[in-house]
Chains A and B, each alone.
Chain A
């Protein structure tokens, strides 16, 4: 019995020594005293390698790669209650913007803007995911990165988006028009479009609603009635009622994208350019959102897309580069943005993943100005916009969201035009909500001069009294936004450099 206790005690003692013995052993007068390690005595069973585990390693590696120094961007100097410019100063400011209109933009123009807020978010900045994408483009990554620009009649028909697209594509590469809906009320910029056949146009706001709520990322969708006709081309051209879209283009592009969902067996699209067939594709994938990418072999100025078979849910067409940055215009007249919440977060998330969206620009508010009359309605709108920004952010966990504030809007009161009340206050609400939701924020209201500023922009023929910018002022504003974003991008790149140096 004594022998058993003695043996057991020795084993326990040795085990404890093994467990607690330092890895590097004990050093004494140049001699290292080692002990067999606990792990050698009792090796752990090898973990079965599986796909998830490998993915997990890859994810960790990716995270480490993007582990930049924590963003400590101080935005406190921008979280102020602004003093509006005097009319004289605003006049000078607008003139200075106009003088710079013809100048081409270079990196020396990228200065910090007090109106653009890029808040810290999840140990990085709100705009970091977008800047990561720009960085990858600069490194030559073979991919298209998309920016989806949401708004109302202020941007409808590619307005503002076209300037942002041109500027970013000039600096980062890309071409084409981005998303083109089958129909829009307004005349689009830069191309001509004709729809043939009998179509339905569904919108989350201000029009026919889709019976099963099937909308694309822009909140619209289309379907054609009837079944169209298959080839040959000559037969198609003569048939007035063949569902088709005809585009006459000015810009070059490298690929055609067909955005559709809920495809039907036998549904097809035939893509022609005058009398030359470019491609055809099945539209029979029944998933909710698909984007078929069709590369072009040569440049074309005209496209006709003919559809046959039962209509899938069609979202639109895109004309894109092979790689680089692309901007999609999702302007919807009359909309205040809340209609996008008709789309489930999971649906939007799926669409954004397919599109590789890295930035959503949200520019709503003009259409709620008549309703900002009382504390009660302000509180109601605040709740709507809080939910909207969060909706976008949830749908874009690995992308950025940039909110553009409401701008000044006026209306006639007893024969005189006055700005709607409470716009300034609601702008601050938008700022608060954007930052809270992890979004960046551009104070368009203050940039344009603040309270009653639309009157001066109107007198200078740069805006309508109802707040709509002209072609000239849209370009001026878009350029300044671009410069402000590029300043922030340069700050991001400095952070990356510091990280690389510290490695």
Chain B
């Protein structure tokens, strides 16, 4: 594919709709179901609205905030996005920030739904390692896939964290086990699987894209 100017940069406010799309698409992992929507018992539209409210709060150190995102722009059009942060970089784990964000925006009924549903599926989630550089909500628009954008985005986050002087041990990310294309892509750029989860609830596939997740890690190369 012939490309014009490509630019990698930190995300800006004007990118928020694309970032929200990235969060939702990563959550859906190439299926038609969003775990957030299923757990909260809401429509995708309602979830999109909730995320836009959350983004106004300017969270850091998790994917629910502008600060965590880097984007690739091609000829002035956003082509890809990816969130990155050092886990517990400000003292709180990202799961806590994520839950606080959800709690502040959605109604008590929706929160109760989330609690009731998530209790059933808690065995699917994996803990993120404190002090690791987390990569999350990777989304590349279809026509820009296969161009190495994933590698560029992760490199950007590595360099950005170093420039900021935030130490981290290795890069870490989570994938759903149905996403074989993503697994291949991460393996190609040096990630190895370190642990898996599995949920055997009869209806896990109605809530999540897959019945399990995989945690991947990549040690920094010499000179990185």
Contacts and interface: CB of A to CB of B under 8 A. Distances in A.
Contacts of A333: 41, 109, 113
A205 B207 CA distance: 13
Interface string B5-31: 000000000000000000000000000
A209 B40 CA distance: 15
Interface stretch (A51-59, A107-115, A191-199, A481-489): A191-199
A196 B37 contact: no
Given A207-B33, A207-B41, A208-B38, A195 B113 contact: no
Given A153-B109, A185-B116, A370-B107, A206 B32 contact: no
Interface string A177-206: 000000101100000000111111110011
B189 interface: no
B42 A185 contact: no
B4 interface: no
Given A205-B43, A206-B38, A225 B205 contact: yes
Contacts of B109: 153, 333-334, 366-367, 466, 468
Contacts of B42: 206, 334
Contacts of B33: 207-209
Interface string A331-345: 001100000000000
A207 B202 contact: no
Given A207-B207, A468-B109, A334 B202 contact: no
Contact of A185 (B107, B108, B117): B117
Contacts of B117: 185
A185 B206 contact: no
Contacts of A225: 205
Most buried by A among B32, B109, B110, B207: B109
A37 interface: no
A262 interface: no
A155 to B, nearest CB: 13
B107 A466 contact: yes
Given A370-B107, A468-B109, A197 B202 contact: yes
Interface in A340-384: 366-367, 370
B105 to A, nearest CB: 11
B32 A209 contact: yes
Most buried by A among B43, B108, B202: B202
B203 interface: yes
Contacts of B202: 183, 195-199
Interface residues on B, range: 20 to 34
A207 B38 contact: yes
A411 interface: yes
Nearest to A370: B107
Given A208-B38, A209-B32, A198 B116 contact: no
B107 A208 contact: no
B206 to A, nearest CB: 4
A411 B105 CA distance: 12
Contact of A334 (B113, B116, B205, B211): B113
Q: Chain B's interface: helix, strand, loop or mixed, by majority? A: helix
Q: Chain A's interface: helix, strand, loop or mixed, by majority? A: loop
Interface in B102-143: 107-110, 113, 116-117
A64 B168 CA distance: 85
A383 to B, nearest CB: 17
Contacts of B37: 206-207
Interface in B167-224: 202-203, 205-207, 211
Interface residues on A, range: 20 to 34
Given A206-B38, A207-B38, A334 B206 contact: no
Given A209-B32, A466-B108, A198 B205 contact: yes
Contacts of B203: 183, 195, 199-201
B155 to A, nearest CB: 36
A206 B205 contact: no
Interface string A197-241: 111111001111101000000000000010000000000000000
A486 B83 CA distance: 61
A215 to B, nearest CB: 14
Contacts of A186: 116
Nearest to B206: A201
Contacts of A466: 107-109
A333 B46 CA distance: 14
B55 to A, nearest CB: 19
Contacts of A411: 107-108
Given A185-B116, A466-B107, A208 B41 contact: no
A339 B40 CA distance: 17
A206 B205 CA distance: 14
B201 to A, nearest CB: 9
A202 B109 CA distance: 21
Nearest to B211: A198
B198 to A, nearest CB: 12
Contacts of A200: 203, 205-206
Interface string B65-94: 000000000000000000000000000000
B145 to A, nearest CB: 24
Most buried by A among B43, B108, B206: B206
Nearest to B208: A208
A425 B50 CA distance: 26
Contacts of A468: 109
Contacts of B110: 334
A139 B205 CA distance: 48
A367 B43 CA distance: 12
A51 to B, nearest CB: 46
Nearest to A244: B202
A211 B40 CA distance: 21
A318 B174 CA distance: 42
21 contacts: A183-B203, A185-B116, A185-B117, A198-B205, A200-B203, A200-B205, A205-B43, A206-B38, A206-B42, A206-B43, A207-B33, A207-B37, A207-B206, A208-B207, A209-B32, A209-B33, A225-B205, A334-B109, A334-B110, A370-B107, A465-B108
Interface of B: 32-33, 37-38, 40-43, 107-110, 113, 116-117, 202-203, 205-207, 211
Given A207-B33, A208-B38, 10 more contacts: A183-B202, A185-B116, A206-B42, A207-B38, A207-B41, A209-B32, A333-B109, A333-B113, A334-B109, A466-B109
Interface of A: 153, 183, 185-186, 195-202, 205-209, 211, 225, 333-334, 366-367, 370, 411, 464-466, 468
